[in-house]
Amino acid sequence: MNKELKEWTVQYVKNKDLAFRKLVKFEDDEKNNIINFHFKDKDNKHYILEKLDEKIISLINNSDWKTIVCLNIDENFDFLIKHWDKLSKIHNLNIIFVNLKTSEKWLINPKLHSMIADPDSIRIGLRTMFDTANGKISEVPKGKKKSSMFEESSDSDSEEENEEKN
């Protein structure tokens, strides 16, 4: 399985770099399950793990730019939630959760996400991204209008409902 996850990672990084053309080369450290991508402006170590465990936290503290690539499974989601406080304090960390069956993924930068997200709803937001990558998409019920950031007030919804009744 690690081989599949490594191949997915290499293709993902190459495709992501198509526009910028900054990728110079990459080295696969098979023994440690690390792919070190060398870009023109930085190096980024990608730690390829099927399942997250405690030792990854000490490993990622030793490198500048780092990305953890793991499977989008319940155990890894639970690890993220359990260690959120530690992970959200680590600079330049991205975590990519991958569903290899569908090639769906979701990516998070815990430090950045913790700065912009409401602490009370962080678990719900992360769970939504996790479920979406696993094909469980939440949809807005029909008949309900999605709110727009450009609406001036919520009165327009009640006016619309009144017009539909007439």
Give every CB contact of residue 114 below 8 A, 6+ residues apart in sequence.
84, 88, 122
At 59 the pLDDT is 87
Q: What is the per-residue pLDDT for 61?
A: 77
φ/ψ (deg, to 5) at 80: -60, -45
Contacts 24+ apart (CB under 8 A), 84-93: 84/110, 84/114, 84/122, 86/57, 87/57, 88/113, 88/114, 90/57, 90/60, 90/61, 92/64, 92/65, 92/66, 93/60, 93/66, 93/67, 93/68
Cβ neighbours of residue 139 closer than 8 Å, sequence gap 6 or more: none
Its pTM stands at: 0.79
Strand order in the sheet with 23-29: 23-29, 34-39, 43-49, 66-71, 93-99, 104-108
Cα–Cα distance measured from residue 29 to residue 48, given in angstroms and rounded to the nearest whole number: 10
pLDDT of amino acid 116: 87
pLDDT in tens, the chain (166 residues): 589 999 999 999 999 999 999 999 999 999 999 999 999 999 999 999 999 999 999 888 766 899 999 999 999 999 999 999 999 999 999 999 999 999 999 999 999 988 888 777 788 888 888 888 888 875 544 554 544 445 554 444 544 445 554 4
Q: What is the CA radius of gyration of the chain?
A: 20
Please give the pLDDT value at position 40: 97
